Copies of this chain bind each other. A is one copy, B any other.
Amino acid sequence: MERPIDVLNNAKGKRVLLRLKKGIEISGVLQAMDLHLNMWLEHAELVDSEGKTKLGTVLVRGDNILYVSPEKSE
């Protein structure tokens, strides 16, 4: 039986886009995640109304997340 979290197993080592409840977006290379959607990202960047900010390594608390999307390749 497939679980929703499985969509992220294929995304490990690839860039994912997190849209947070607060309207902020964070993108980064997915290193690890758990069932609460806590996520460890590398080379992360934050995008909000003030523009782009480099975050580097970051652990995002899962309860802030609206959705996660592996970046489209094409």
The residues of A with any CB-CB pair to B shorter than 8 Å are: 1-8, 20-22, 24, 26, 31-34, 37-40, 44, 55-70, 72
A4 to B65 alpha-carbon distance, docked (Å): 15
A59 & B22 in contact (Cβ 8 Å cutoff): no
A32 & B3 in contact (Cβ 8 Å cutoff): yes
| Known A31-B7, A32-B6, A55-B69; contact A63-B63, beta-carbon cutoff 8 A | yes
Closest chain-B Cβ to A70's Cβ sits at a distance in Å of: 6
Nearest chain B residue, comparing its CB with the CB of A6: B32
**Would you give 19 A-B contacts (Cβ < 8 Å), ordered by A?**
A1-B32, A4-B31, A4-B32, A4-B38, A5-B59, A6-B32, A7-B32, A7-B57, A21-B64, A24-B66, A37-B38, A37-B61, A55-B67, A56-B70, A56-B72, A58-B67, A59-B67, A61-B67, A64-B67
